Amino acid sequence: MMKAKILVVDDEPPFELMIRKIFRKEINENQYAFFFARNGEDALHTLEEIGDIEMLLTDINMPVMDGLALMAEVEKRFPDLVTIVISAYGDIQNIRKTMNAGAFDFLVKPLSREDLKMTLVKAMKQILKNRELQQAYREKELAQRELVDNLKRMDRTKDEFLTSVSHELLTPLNGIVGIADSLADGAVGPVSDDMCDNLQMIVSSGKRLTSLVHDILDISKMKNSELKLMTQPLDLRPVIEVVLSLSQPLVGIKPLVLRKEFPTSFPRVLADENRVEQILHNLIGNAVKYTPSGEVCVFLEHDESNAYISIRDSGIGIPEHKFEAIFMPFEQMDGSMTRPYGGAGLGLSITRQLVQLQNGQIDLKSEVGKGSTFTFSLPLVPGDGPVIADPVVAPNLVHEVRHLEKSVDMPQPVTENGFRILAVDDEPVNQRVLQNQFTIEGYHVDTVGSGYEALEAVATNACYDLVLLDVMMPGLNGFDVCRKLRENFSLVELPILILTAKNHTRAYLEGISCGANDYLAKPFDKSELMARAKTLLSLRQAVAQTIEHTRHLESERLKRGLAENLRKITETLTSTLELKEVLARFLECLAPVCFYSRALIVLKKQDRVELAIAKGFGDDSVLTSSHQVAETFLPLTEAHDEALVINYDSSESNHGALSIGIEVSLVAAPFFTKGIQIGLILLERDKPRKFRPQECELLSAFAGQAAIAIENAQLFEKVQVMAKTEELTGLNNRRHFFSLGNDAFEHAVSEGRPLSAIMLDVDHFKMCNDTYGHAVGDEVLQTVAKRIMIACRRSDILGRYGGEEFAIILPDTTLEVAKDVAERLRIEIQKNQASRKENIKITASLGVAELDRTVHNLGELLQRADVALYRAKEKGRNCSLTYPEAQVP
């Protein structure tokens, strides 16, 4: 048994000793543990400090705080303590008081040892009983808490289950309503009246279920405080008018009038427009539902801080004892009264919560058989004046008015059957709904089940006028599809209407920001969807017409711009006669009007094709193959006199000949002057930007201008060559020979390089000339010139010196080498006959000299070679001599 802690309170010290003596055995056996205090206050401290003292043994008469006061405190602070009071015999009145104050027992001084022991045993029994009771209580409490926790958990699970099931229900419900509705409208053939009635029943049951699901979702949102309100100053009247119009169909054939009573001016309230609408739909809907005949009237009142909106009906009424209950979820009046009306009993519960969330109250007055009036309040905008009734519908209600499409005239598409729509939804049911609805109205509808299929459909069949796009799809979601489509199509080229069950502002914003034109939350109203689609289509058509008009103006402007560009390019090209410069400028002028990655120009030169300029080729092998391509194109473009485009794809084998190795688009334009092709320009662009027909046209026009400039430059080049060469032999004329020779001389002197000169004279030329005539003489001179060209190096400077005399300057050549060259020349000249007509063999004499320090200029060097030549002639012709050698007689 657990030991008991006992507090003994007495102001006489011997009392403590006595207690210790009496209970020595129990103390030693750990049965009792005693604590001692001298007065009430002291005792309270000890109780506080020790904490688990279960028994109190107290005197009554004590200083500072007596036993009675202590008992009163203990009663308050330690109600479980078992108290035994000890007092003098005459104190019986006080003992009674302490017993009334809750003492367990009392003892009278002087104490009897036996009595004391027995009383403590008895008290111990009470303590044990207390302990058991407490234990039982604790266990019960624990079990209860567990039960509550379990219940709460189950409630949460139920809510989660309801929410997720509700979400899941929306799509199929939407499908059922949509398909039934379109079937009733004759989407897949005519329907009999009977069938139509049945289908309409499916539609209205489906709609009822849908609204129930929305109610459940709303309740769960409110329970979890997830319902976000967008409160703003709101004029109630247009909202009420819209709800009244929308409720009209609910009346059906009942003799029931829907009315409103508005003051001419009414202040605005602070509320969420959508939620106010929802409240009104519930209350007006109920009023219509529970009123077989008479009227439903909405009227407005206000005081200085609140507006009061009342919906009064002349219906079946509500008994007073139900006033509170009908606002509870799933609570309805007795079945007998409301059975014929349907409903789940959620509407009023939601309505009241929505009103309260917007800082309002809802109130009910009703009399059974006479009717009911539901009044709810909403706070006024502080300091806002009254608003005068405006006959024009408020702009924020425009979308609602579209609800009323049946009564309002909407713009019809200009061509009844011309529009093509792509509907994207992974739910076959939804696809069918959209297909049915739009097909009835004469649209062509294609449906696909995923984002990827949608992109492919648009890519292969880019003539859609509208895309209806679901958001939640596996793989690529609707927002991504929208973004991808917008990379290639503007808002007016391809309108996109997003349809989704996500009815959140965030989702709406996301839709708009990724390029959607409009957004409609599921379940959507058929006529609203049609109205929105039609608006987008008409808009698209109007914009397309405007664009067409603008395009026409633009092309006129372009034509004028092209002429101006051509004038500029001609000006630039004709400002130089240097061929390389002309070509470089041409490529430069071309870049801004016809962007290219690489360009090259080839020009025809008599019997070959020469690469004249190349731009943008980093890699020689690419240049070589492009050069080959250009040559292949030359004969192709010969036939056309305009640019030829080949959008070359290396994966297409039919262009295998053009092995460029990268995917490119090529365009080639020929240069023509006076009907003759003189060359070709080839432009290359890496895929995917192919050359467009307009660019080819531009290139052709520009190439025409360039051809003229190229021809001019080529002519100029010819003239320049002519100014330097001697007409008969094509060698440098004397002037040019000296100019080149002097440069070579200066260079050799300054760099200390060797330099030699050879003078050559045709032997017996005069005689030949006289015998065969000038023509043959000229032919002989041409032959000699040719043979000189053959025997000499490129770097040698060759010139006709005069008459039958030729001079050659050999840079970087010593006398020894020059001597060999002269000998080679001599042999070359005498090789064959020198005229095609006459069998004449000719020879030549040659003199060779080398630059040394004693030579001061080119003239002196040639002079020395001439001296050597003279000696060679003297020596008997057909030989070569060198200057120093010739000097020595």
Residues assigned a catalytic role: 804
Is residue 332 involved in binding ligand ADP (CB under 6 A)?
A: yes
> Which of 39, 166, 286, 310 is the binder for ligand ADP (CB under 6 A)?
286
Q: Looking at residues 189 to 208 of the shown chain, list those that interact with ligand ADP (rule: CB under 6 A).
A: none
> Which of 243, 269, 307, 333 is the binder for ligand ADP (CB under 6 A)?
333
d(CA 880, CA 868): 8
3-state secondary structure of 363: strand
Is residue 348 involved in binding ligand ADP (CB under 6 A)?
A: yes
Of 332-340, 472-480, 642-650, 867-875, the segment contacting ligand ADP by CB under 6 A is 332-340
* Rounded least distance, CB 412 to ligand ADP, Å: 39
In contact, 39 and 64? CB cutoff 8 Å:
yes
Please choose, from the candidates 433, 425, 406, the residue with its C-alpha nearest in 3D space to the C-alpha of residue 524: 433
Is residue 517 involved in binding ligand ADP (CB under 6 A)?
A: no
* Rounded least distance, CB 340 to ligand ADP, Å: 11
Helices (H), 665-764: 693-724, 734-751
Is residue 287 involved in binding ligand ADP (CB under 6 A)?
A: yes
In the complex, which residue's CB is closest to ligand ADP?
A: 343
3-state secondary structure of 158: helix
Is residue 362 involved in binding ligand ADP (CB under 6 A)?
A: no
Of 16-24, 105-113, 338-346, 650-658, the segment contacting ligand ADP by CB under 6 A is 338-346
Helices (H), 82-112: 92-100
How many residues at the interface with ligand ADP, by CB under 6 A?
20
> Which of 7, 318, 455, 707 is the binder for ligand ADP (CB under 6 A)?
318
> Which of 31, 306, 338, 574 is the binder for ligand ADP (CB under 6 A)?
338
Of 336-344, 376-384, 395-403, 602-610, the segment contacting ligand ADP by CB under 6 A is 336-344
Of 58-66, 344-352, 430-438, 485-493, the segment contacting ligand ADP by CB under 6 A is 344-352
Q: Extract long-range pairs of 483-492: CB within 8 Å, 24+ residues apart.
A: 483/514, 483/515, 484/455, 485/454, 485/455, 485/458, 485/515, 486/514, 486/515, 489/458, 491/515, 491/517, 492/539, 492/540, 492/543, 492/544, 492/547
Q: Looking at residues 38 to 67 of the shown chain, list those that interact with ligand ADP (rule: CB under 6 A).
A: none
Is residue 346 involved in binding ligand ADP (CB under 6 A)?
A: yes
Is residue 314 involved in binding ligand ADP (CB under 6 A)?
A: no
Is residue 120 involved in binding ligand ADP (CB under 6 A)?
A: no
Nearer to ligand ADP, 286 or 813 (CB): 286
Instruction: Provide DSSP, 390-450.
Output: -SSPPGGGHHHHGGGTTTS-PPPPSSSS--EEEEE-S-HHHHHHHHHHHHHTT-EEEEESS
* Rounded least distance, CB 688 to ligand ADP, Å: 60
> Which of 102, 172, 319, 345 is the binder for ligand ADP (CB under 6 A)?
345
> Which of 219, 316, 458, 494 is the binder for ligand ADP (CB under 6 A)?
316
Sign of the four-CA dihedral 79, 84, 86, 89: positive
Of 104-112, 311-319, 490-498, 710-718, the segment contacting ligand ADP by CB under 6 A is 311-319
d(CA 801, CA 733): 8
Q: Looking at residues 364 to 393 of the shown chain, list those that interact with ligand ADP (rule: CB under 6 A).
A: 372
d(CA 175, CA 432): 8
Please choose, from the candidates 459, 498, 494, the residue with its C-alpha nearest in 3D space to the C-alpha of residue 478: 498
List of residues 6+ apart from 312 with CB closer than 8 A: 287, 296, 297, 298, 299, 371, 372, 373
> Which of 272, 313, 761, 763 is the binder for ligand ADP (CB under 6 A)?
313
Nearer to ligand ADP, 126 or 338 (CB): 338
* Rounded least distance, CB 429 to ligand ADP, Å: 27
Q: What is the DSSP letter of 377?
A: E
Nearer to ligand ADP, 286 or 500 (CB): 286
Angle between helices 13-22 and 113-184 (to 10 degrees): 80
Nearer to ligand ADP, 233 or 342 (CB): 342
Is residue 344 involved in binding ligand ADP (CB under 6 A)?
A: yes
Query: What are 46's two structure tokens?
Result: 């000890």
Of 69-77, 148-156, 331-339, 792-800, the segment contacting ligand ADP by CB under 6 A is 331-339
x/- map, 462-491, ligand ADP, by CB under 6 A = ------------------------------
Nearer to ligand ADP, 334 or 487 (CB): 334
Sign of the four-CA dihedral 697, 699, 703, 709: positive
Q: What is the CA radius of gyration of the chain?
A: 57
List of residues 6+ apart from 171 with CB closer than 8 A: 427, 429, 430, 501, 522
Query: What are 347's two structure tokens?
Result: 């509407």
| Residue type at position 405 | E
* Rounded least distance, CB 248 to ligand ADP, Å: 17
Query: What are 590's two structure tokens?
Result: 């071309």
Query: What are 198's two structure tokens?
Result: 């049945």
d(CA 616, CA 452): 38
Give contact residues for ligand ADP (rule: CB under 6 A): 282, 286-287, 290, 313, 315-316, 318, 326, 332-333, 338, 343-349, 372
